[in-house]
Structure 1
């Protein structure tokens, strides 16, 4: 259930984000694009990570907004000593159960990705997937991540603009509107999720969409250099698409998605 904010309370947008993802936790791993459903996709993720971060070989990795631990386990596969942080205890329950089943040595903690409480210069790499678009204060978050990295450390951000209406989404909305003129309206089963999502989106920095150039600008402002944008994610998206309805795949394929690798000079 959504926790309602009332006058005089300290309920913040960060609490609202936590509660939203806690509601999503039970079904999170059922969706392609969240959990990994093929070795083809897993291998594609491994190649992307190695391309930008290299092999683990005992290096320390921090997975921010780790959710159910999908990316944490990808990093663990490559030899990293992984800590996964998430703001939702419900997500972490799933991550820990998965880790126990797989016998992995990942450390999972409930922390805010924008203020982790971790020691400065204690990580070789930081990785995030679909976190940056939800940040309340990305400039402060990036400065914090910069300080968490050792000199020469790297952050890999996998994210996108999930707000801007693509040509496919506009077409689909037009077709849905045309069809709905001739059939009774049905209640939206995602109503509770959609209402809270819209409330969160009205309060976060990237409410107009997390475009790569703005993310790069903020990373550079935090001191990262160089910052490299990689949009060649087709291998991952095609593997995910094999487990998606065609409309969902086309929606995903036409979005502005990217991986950004940024280095703390050292």
Structure 2
């Protein structure tokens, strides 16, 4: 298992490293100013409150969610295990004293116990090779009363409406051509990685909830993702508006209780590398 995960994580790292130069061109990744940035900011504010906090951002990529957090006044430690992704993020936020970027493993952050008010990630959980280990580590670094905020989705199969939307996009692309940035132009590599992940058959809110609870989190909730999707559609063309209908996406919030400890990390298999 350890060797398999090491090889898998290296494949994941290589995939995201290759995508780093053009990732901001992919619809659904960049968070432009205006309605979409406002919607993401509202979701974060609702989850962790309006006061500036110390936030650990996992799998920060090119620093788009980092920008949301900084716009709200938070102090952000943003980690990624792709040096290329971090290079883009560092350049984007150069000179901002409230942003710190680290090359690190999101499944084993190596950050101090109870150091953060909030732990936040977008589109990371589906890539985890050891989800139990990761969730236990995120619990560990949160202060009692701290918040876990996850944005993710089931990227393995479209919804019934998504299947219709996908057919419509294919029809549109017969006339305007394929968008090379939407799937990173490496869909075969992406598909191979997905088949080897624990969530290879899909990540759903119903599936992740018991794992979060087993890690020690409480007050698990699922705020609506609809305001973000609606904001994405505001200034998008028809093809991209249809893309927001493809998959079932979700938002998860949970808290570390103030008076109990989490699982014993030493009892869990130790993962190496990083998922981004």
Distance (whole Å) between structure 2 residues aligned to residue 93 and residue 247 of structure 1: 30
1:55 CA drift (Å): 2.3
Mean alpha-carbon deviation: is it higher for 113-122 or for 187-196?
187-196
1:4: which partner in 2?
none
Given candidates 136, 145, 151, the residue that maps to 2:144 is 151
- Partners of 1:104 and 1:191 in 2: CA distance: 32
Which structure has the greater CA radius of gyration? 1
TM-score, structure 2 normalization: 0.82
Extract structure 1 runs of 4+ deviating beyond 4 A.
8-11, 172-180, 186-192
CA RMSD of aligned residues (A): 2.7
Deviation at 1:178, TM superposition (A): 9.4
Determine the C-alpha separation between the residues in 1 that align with 2:149 and 2:197: 21
2:72 aligned partner: 78
Unaligned residue ranges in structure 2 (runs of 5+): 259-276
Indicate conservation of the 8 Å contact 2:169/2:239, yes or no.
no
Which residue in the other structure is 1:90 paired with?
Answer: 84
| Residue 24 (str. 1) matches residue 19 (str. 2) | yes
- More off after superposition, 16-25 vs 243-252: 243-252
Among residues 40, 43, 47, which one is paired with 2:42 in the alignment?
A: 47
Q: What is the distance in 1 between the residues matched to 2:184 and 2:62? A: 23
Does residue 38 of structure 1 match 2:30? no
Mapped to 1, the partners of 2:170 and 2:27 lie a distance apart of 26
Greater relative CO, 1 or 2 (CA 8 Å, sep 6+):
2
Q: Which residue of 205, 208, 232 maps to 1:240?
A: 232
Give the Cα–Cα distance (whole angstroms) in 2 for the partners of residues 212 and 116 of structure 1: 24
- Whether 1:249 aligns to 2:241 is yes
TM-score, with normalisation over the residues of structure 1? 0.85
104-113 or 85-94: bigger deviation = 104-113
State how 1:75-154 maps to structure 2 within 5 Å. Answer: 75-100=69-94, 103-154=96-147
Equivalent residues in 2 for 1:181-220 (5 A)? 193-220=186-213
User: Displacement, 1:41?
Assistant: 1.4
Please state whether the residue corresponding to 1:257 is helix, strand or coil.
strand
2:93 is paired with a residue whose SS is helix
